[in-house]
Amino acid sequence: MAQKKTVRVGCHSGFWGDTETAAVQLVRHGNVDYLVSDYLAEVTMSIMAAQKLRNPQAGYATDFVTAVMAPLAREIAEKKIKVVTNAGGVNPQACRDAVLKACEAAGVKLKVAIVTGDDILPRIEEFRAAGVREMDTGAELPAKIVSMNAYLGGFPIARALDEGADVVITGRCVDSAVTLGALIHAFGWGMDDHDRLAAGTLCGHIIECGAQCNGGNFTDWRLVPDYDNMGFPVAEVEADGAFVLGKPENTGGLISTATVAEQMLYEIGDPRAYIVPDVVCDFTGATYEQVGKDRVRVAGARGRPATDTYKVSTTWPDGFKFSSIFMLGGREAAAKGRHSAESIIKKTRRLFAEKNMADYRDVSIEVIGSEATYGPHSRTADAREVVVKIAAKHDQKEALSLLGREIAPMSTGGVVGMAGSFGAGRVSPSPVIRMFSCLVPKSMVPVTVEVDGRAIPMQEGARSGGFTAASLPTERPPASALLAGDTETVPLIALAYGRSGDKGDNANIGIFARKPEYEPILDSEVTEEAVAKYFAHRINGKVTRWRLPGIKGFNFLLRQALGGGGMASLKADPLAKAFAQMLLDMPVRVPADVAREAGVAQKAA
């Protein structure tokens, strides 16, 4: 088929629950060739698996059907927009059937394909026998598994589009694969087009979180206009994978080199080796150029041959957790709030012993409003109004129900100022769902594309590896410390932008210099040791740093920082969304003239 010089890809969803206004905006005003969406996270997969157990027709992102296809199917068909989504969750077949019904109700016919094979839970004992272990810790597979899904890539999606599919629905795939699959199809890229595949993956990675690359979560938030009418991303992609990021006209948000580079840093780990099923990406030399108002051109990603394994996300139940909050006011509010929570825990521990129940497995008390997440860096010891968050884990649901019953009585028999707990009625304990990540050979994961009643096998096991971590160059040590002399201290935000997110139990923080001349300061001041010391109250593992010369930046991975991460965590920020904001407040030493200059930038931020 004749291939376009450029194609336009718009992303309307970064998670299950994103705004319903995005798809309408992109279909009607985005002039897109492909409409893509990402609905899945590890926690989402476990929720969907539980839904499917209760109802065989559930287990997919219903929003995709009700908020996208049902109201927009006719316009999608008329404009010949191709739709690619991972909304299939753990039940792509049911999602396909629901989409077909929505199309029928709209009076249109669209060819709907599904990609299956990611769900490998039925073969758990086979993987257990093969000695599959956790990627980081080497732990054995848990005894009871809730879900087990391989992260698939873009080539099966491309094959479905090659077969004439108008809508492609997948189960678990890499977030960026919905975009990469469309680009493989549009430009005819092959498995050996490593640089193009890496560029397409970078495009998918930047737009996969919807408005987050268009000013959402941006460090300099005051510069972003009209949050109430955020524009969603449209990437104009060229045949070599370079692209210009834009958004529909007359929408809010901001697209600048800084907003786009921030999103590139989101949850990437080692930027020299961002591993997806189709390629190993190197983002360190990627460049970002402002080519117009709200238009940024991205180029320069490089790729290496793919690995011969899939990453697999496994979830398993591990007891129960409880979390509740209550307000407390007046003088010494923070101290009173902590004392109240500690008294509740002390009392329930005594009740547990009387009832022959075991102790808590974990307890978390966070006084929100006293900057509890900042630990020793808190500046609000004299807060007069706080919200106390009390959370705990236990093997027995009944024990946590007892905890829930003992919170309200403190409003009359406890420390003065407790204004009552939030929410209707008592909060119920919920299961703890933990993550287990591992690698399995691609040859053990047969992938199938189903279209027009045909099942097309997509065997990826023949693709041998080619990448090992040992092949990566050694990172240079930090630059020498600034010379002694006339220096001052400024918060890091005066010198840098930042973005953070989670990788299981690890926090990922990326920063980059506001001006090129600030990079040496970041290099010498924001070291692995400095970051580990600043976050010592939050992390139990090591800190690793990598350079990104293309943006004068650095990426950090803080291991064992999130109390288990996701649904397993009791922390107020289990997904590390605010970690970059904390780091940007870290004091750094700079020459006096830089301090004066940076002070202006700090006020602007």
In angstroms, rounded to a whole number, what is the distance separating the alpha carbons of residues 153 and 310? 9
Q: For 427-451, write each residue's pLDDT tens digit.
A: 789 888 888 999 999 999 999 999 9
* Final residue in a domain of this structure, among 273, 295, 329: 273
User: pLDDT for 195-208, tens place per residue?
Assistant: 999 999 999 999 99
Residues 64, 189 within the same domain: yes
348 and 267 fall within a common domain: no
Closest by Cα among 604, 548, 603, 558 to 582: 558
How far is residue 202's CA from residue 403's CA, in Å, rounded to a whole number?
A: 46
**Could you report the per-residue pLDDT of 114-156, keeping only the tens digit for each?**
999 999 999 999 999 999 999 888 999 999 998 899 999 999 9
How confident is the model over 368-404, as pLDDT tens digits? 999 988 989 988 878 899 999 999 999 999 999 999 9
What the block records as the tokens of 284 is: 């360190």
What's residue 604's pLDDT? 47
Residues 451 and 491 in one domain: no
Task: Write the CATH number for 432.
Answer: 3.30.70.260
In a domain, 126, yes or no: yes
Do 335 and 462 lie in one domain? The reply is yes
Is 480 domain-assigned?
no
Q: Are residues 341 and 437 in the same domain?
A: yes
Is 57 a member of any domain?
A: yes
Phi and psi dihedrals of 138, rounded to 5?
A: 80, 10
Residue 42: per-residue pLDDT: 74
pLDDT at 236: 98
The CA distance from 270 to 282, in Å, is 9
**Predicted local distance difference test score (pLDDT) of residue 424:** 44
The reply to whether 423 falls in a domain is: yes
- Is 377 exposed, middle or buried, given 0-12, 13-18 or 19+ CB atoms closer than 10 A? middle
Q: How many domains does the chain have?
A: 3
Give which of 463, 473, 187, 183 is closest to 306, Cα–Cα.
463
pTM over 0.75: yes
421 with 507, same domain: the answer is: no
Residue 19 carries which DSSP code?
Answer: -
Q: Answer whether residue 482 shows pLDDT above 70.
A: no
CA distance 513 to 499: 12
Domain identity same for 464 and 595 = no
Shared-domain flag, residues 139 and 211: no
Residue 597 has pLDDT above 50, yes or no: yes
Domain that holds residue 574: 487-604
* 168 and 208 co-located in one domain: yes
One domain for residues 355 and 234: no
CB of 203 closer than 8 Å to CB of 183: yes
For the beta carbon of residue 477, count every other beta carbon within 10 angstroms. Answer: 8
Share of the chain above pLDDT 90, in %: 78
pLDDT at 471 over 80: no
Of 407, 440, 468, the domain-final residue? 468
Tens digit of pLDDT for each residue in 258-314?
A: 999 999 999 999 999 999 999 999 999 999 999 999 999 999 999 999 999 999 999
pLDDT at 20 over 70: yes
3 state SS of 295 = strand
- Does 16 fall in a domain? yes
Of 440, 468, 496, which residue is a domain's last?
468
Residues, the chain, total?
A: 605
What is the arithmetic mean of pLDDT over 182-192? 97
Residue 359 and residue 267 share a domain: no
Q: Is residue 302 part of a domain?
A: no
Task: State the pLDDT at residue 421.
Answer: 65
Average pLDDT, the chain: 92
Asked, for residue 510, whether it belongs to a domain, the answer is yes
Same structural domain, 314 and 372: yes
Residue 478 within any structural domain of the chain: no
How big is the chain by its Cα radius of gyration, in Å?
A: 25
